[in-house]
Amino acid sequence: MQTVGKVKIYFLTIDEGGQSIIPVSNFSTPIIFEEDRDLINGLWSAVIEFHNSPNIQRESTADLYLLFHEKEEASNHLIKPGMKFELITNRVIAKGIIESLKK
């Protein structure tokens, strides 16, 4: 079952270890949930569907769900209000929090 969270995202600057160019359209990238930093549930990719492109402060809101959410072993249970997460490539590019679930 697809679980969709409404999230608040901040894209790290280069000085913070992020990247200079930030996405302005929907994308998918690996996600690490705060409650599963050791990746006990595996490493999954999240789909980010922006409500608006990131602003000048590098912040945005979006819908977030797992790319292969239909898989039985998918860690959809980690998509819950209050859960913090990091979006990664070869480094952490963004940090966020799940504010609510989308009905």
Give pLDDT, residue 29.
97
User: Are 85 and 98 within 8 A, CB to CB?
Assistant: yes
Kindly state the DSSP code that residue 76 receives in the 8-state scheme: G
* Mean per-residue pLDDT over the chain, rounded: 95
Residue 66 confidence class, pLDDT cut points 50, 70, 90 = very high
Tell me the pairing of strands 44-50 and 59-66: antiparallel
Q: Determine the length of the chain.
A: 103
pLDDT band at 1 (very low <50, low <70, confident <90, very high): confident
Which string of DSSP letters, residue by residue, matches 35-51?
GGTT-TT--EEEEEEES
